[in-house]
Amino acid sequence: MPMNEAHQALCSSDEWAQTVKDRILPWALEDVELGDDVVEIGPGYAANLRVLVDLVPRLTAVEIDGATARLLERDWGDRARILHADAAQMPLPDASYSAVVGFTMLHHVPTDALQDRIFAEAFRVLRPGGVFAGSDSPPSRELDELHIGDVLNTVDPAGLPDRLKEAGFTEVAVDLHPESGGMRFRAHKP
């Protein structure tokens, strides 16, 4: 989804990439076994992708924005498979991936119904036993200000477990970070 200039500057900054590497991904993926073939939905400017490519043998990134997907292909296409596609309709085979991950991207999805379609797609492409994991930002005034002119549809942590179970997932866990209030989630395909 298109972002305003301030949001683009933040998400493409070295500072954000370092925050992702040092704080967000270690917490979001704590005790998560990603396996050998991972899909990242909504990689944006590659802050997460640049860490994930060194963690897993095979990485596929699904990016909805065409210009961003082209940048990802240029910069990361030799280390990851980059797809310009909608995570709510991924052109990927059923039951083929060990993990699907998404970090700080769900709030960019304009409606709860589309978020639920993404959950259903994550479930569809996962192998039995696969994990859907990620994180997102809590509602805040700062988040509102950063998203002026952008899509902002935060996920209610209290309601997320039921939404993931509705998509078919089991062993659903949603936790809030004790300092930032950020949310992480993990759910498994039986």
Run of H or E residues at 173: strand 170-176
Count of domains for the chain = 1
Full DSSP string of 102-120: EES-GGGSS-HHHHHHHHH
Query: pLDDT tens, 159-172?
Result: 999 999 999 999 99
What is the average pLDDT score of the chain? 93
Q: What is the pLDDT of residue 7?
A: 66
CB count in 10 Å sphere of residue 185: 24
Give the domain CATH number at 159: 3.40.50.150
Pairing of strands 170-176, 126-136: unpaired
Closest C-alpha to 155, from 95, 94, 113, 124: 113
Pairing of strands 183-188, 170-176: antiparallel
Q: What is the pLDDT of residue 162?
A: 98
Q: What is the pLDDT of residue 2?
A: 61
Run of H or E residues at 18: helix 14-19
Say how far apart CA 92 and CA 175 lie, in whole Å.
29
- Cβ pair 166, 116 in contact under 8 A: yes
- For residue 82, the enclosing domain spans 5-188
| Mean pLDDT, contiguous 10-residue spans, the chain (190 residues) | 69 84 95 98 95 97 96 97 98 98 95 98 98 91 81 93 98 92 95
Q: 137 φ, ψ to 5°?
A: -90, 145
Q: What is the pLDDT of residue 74?
A: 97
CB count in 10 Å sphere of residue 89: 12
Query: pLDDT tens, 61-81?
Result: 999 999 999 999 999 999 999
List % helix, strand, coil for the chain (3-state, nearest 5). Answer: 35, 25, 40
